[in-house]
Amino acid sequence: MTDASSRHPPPNEADTESTYRPPENLSGTVATGLRWKLTTQLVREGSRLVVAVFLARILTPEQWGLATMALVAAAFIEFIPDSMSVGLVQRQQISERDRSTIFWTIMAMGVGISVLGIAASGFIAELYGEPQVRELFMAVSVGFAISASTSVPETILMRNLAYRAMEIRQMIAALAGGAAALTLALAGAGPWAIVANSLVALTTSAVLLWWFARWRPKLTFSRSALASLGADGVRVLGTQLLTLVQLNADKLLAGRYLGAGALGSYSFAYQLMFTPVGNIAYPVQHVLFPVFAMLQEDAERLNAAWLRTKHLSIALMAPVFLVLLVVGPDLIPTVFGTRWEDSVPVLQLLCLAGVAYSLGTQNWSLLVVRERSGTLFLVTFLTAATVVTSVVIGLDWGIRGVAAMLAVGYWVLVLPELWITTYAGSVKFLTAARATLSPLPFAAAAAAGAYFARLGLVELDVLPALRIVLVGALFVSLYASLAYVGSSSLRREMRAVLRSRLFARLRTSR
């Protein structure tokens, strides 16, 4: 490869793209992306639910915990290469030389990290005191190089707002991973079923990304491009590592000090709790981040879009956490089996943590688009330090203590994190606070009504499966009614959804 920074590259390598501007019909573009994302989530989560039910009834908590040990340890390394591609989405203008430079840099990092991961597998196994983790971690480490190969093709699709291609890739990958997991679980492979789910989905996703992106890297490398775009990546890298600490410290420490069985019960509850984040916050953020990047020169539109997105994300996420808290005592033993009953109180405590966590969603997008990397690092450091401290305190009371203290830690962070974010992002704090907190009273009231209804159904000896349906339906009805009557902004959103469906039906009937 040649150093393109030392010469004048030919036009086909150096020509920049047209300025990264939002389309005229931005709301239509976003709506298309969200529709595709919703379709993907339905397919992915439907397949994940089927796989999770079967795995929960085949695997033991100890086997689940062993797989979690390998996957959690890997999470601290997996996202290091991805941080280098942030600039490719954020920058207004990108050249072919930029893309190829970042690709070769990320690939070198990915391969190197895979080799280091395999070499460190013995240490990871000793850290947990579980010899089986060594082979599991070696297998997971191969995925680092595969993941590195996808970073630039994915950014190309994101910049082009190619939502259809990205979501088709996600759906097929989820189905392939689920099929592999079920096959191995039925064959008695134990924790390998969970690891295979991750690796097969990752490999399938990589193949499809390259197919849809229709891009191939050139044999060129520019030190100047790396210095410029790499600076963005380095600033984000520290934040991503701290985010990984924040999201995985509880599982890492629980596995180290409480054992595979306890970690299995905890991580099972955590995966159920984290469903609203994975299905609502992250998909919305994934769709809207490139759109926010387009709006970075228009502060008024950016702030309005961010506030609306944050408000709607919380209005959708907080109720899901609370209804999961209410129906959890029936849901886990009925759907997943009685061997997971130890996860019930953990799930309920984690759902309280999830409500607080949802209040901080979308903060990352504003700070990145505003290029407030220093502030983002500060917020993430504060969050990670609080989470680690809370988990360490909670370890003395087992997995319930960890879940309880995690909830305390996240609630302590809500207002300080919001204040720092709005100050750095030039958004009024009180306006953001109203957008953040206003859905909570409606969700809390609906949860209270559903909770007492469930107690009544238990007294009447109604079957648990029927209780789940009745309580869930009551919660949705209460929340929708309260939000419609009590919030003008949510009422407008509901009417918009109803109108769009009505018009779609009228167009279809014609």
CA dist., res. 48 & res. 31, Å (int): 25
Query: CB of 446 within 8 A of CB of 405?
Result: no
The pLDDT value recorded for residue 298 is 66
64 within some domain: yes
Largest CA distance in the chain: 81
CA distances from 82 to 87, 155, 168, 200, 238 (A): 11, 10, 21, 19, 12
Predicted confidence (pLDDT) per residue in 93-126, tens digit:
778 888 888 889 888 988 988 898 899 999 999 9
Asked whether 262 and 67 are in contact (CB, 8 A), the reply is no
Per-residue pLDDT reduced to its tens digit, 408-455: 999 999 999 999 999 998 899 999 999 899 999 999 999 999 999 999
Alpha-carbon distances, residue 344 vs 18, 28, 268, 384 (angstroms): 53, 41, 10, 26
DSSP state, residue 7: S
Nearest to 200 by CA among 275, 151, 143, 115: 143
Task: Look at 289 and 315; give whichever has higher pLDDT.
Answer: 315
Is there a contact between 230 and 222 (Cβ–Cβ < 8 Å)? no
Minimum mean pLDDT range among 39-43, 131-135, 236-240, 347-351: 39-43
The answer to the question of residue 368 being in a domain is no
pLDDT of residue 10: 41
Tokens of 454: 């469930």
Q: Please write the tens of the pLDDT for every residue from 313-324.
A: 888 889 989 999
| Short-list 227, 74, 100, CA closest to 152 | 100
Least confident of 4-13, 151-160, 191-200: 4-13
Beta-bridge mates of residue 2: 220
pLDDT at 276 over 50: yes
Q: What is the 3-state secondary structure (H, E, C) of 75-115?
A: HHHHCCHHHHHHHHHHCCCCEHHHHHHHHHHHHHHHHHHHH
At 3, which helix (H) or strand (E)?
Answer: strand 2-3
What is the distance between the alpha carbons of residues 346 and 277, in angstroms, rounded to a whole number? Answer: 17
pLDDT band at 481 (very low <50, low <70, confident <90, very high): very high
Q: What average pLDDT does range 276-288 have in this prediction?
A: 55
200, part of any domain: yes
Domain membership flag for residue 133: yes
| CB neighbours of residue 468 within 10 Å | 21
**SS3 string of 229-250?**
HHHHHHHHHHHHHHHHHHHHHH
* pLDDT for 283: 54
The residue ranking higher by pLDDT, 166 or 8, is 166
Indicate whether 430 belongs to any domain: no
In a domain, 340, yes or no: no
**Does residue 88 lie within any of the structural domains?**
yes
User: Mean of the pLDDT values across residues 375-385?
Assistant: 90
Mean pLDDT for 381-404 is 95
Range of the domain at 188: 1-258
The mean of the pLDDT values for the chain is 81
Q: How far apart are CA 306 and CA 309, in angstroms?
A: 5
Please give the average per-residue pLDDT across 37-51, as a whole number.
70
Judge whether 296 lies within some domain.
no
The tokens for 247 are: 């999201």
Residues 6+ apart with CB under 8 A from 356: 407, 410, 411, 413, 414
Strand, helix or coil for residue 2: strand
Residue 374 CA to chain centroid, in angstroms?
Answer: 22
Position 84 pLDDT exceeds 80: no
Number of domains in the chain: 1
Which span out of 195-209, 348-362, 441-455 was modeled with the highest average pLDDT?
441-455
Distance between CA atoms of residues 381 and 67, nearest Å: 28
pTM of the model: 0.79
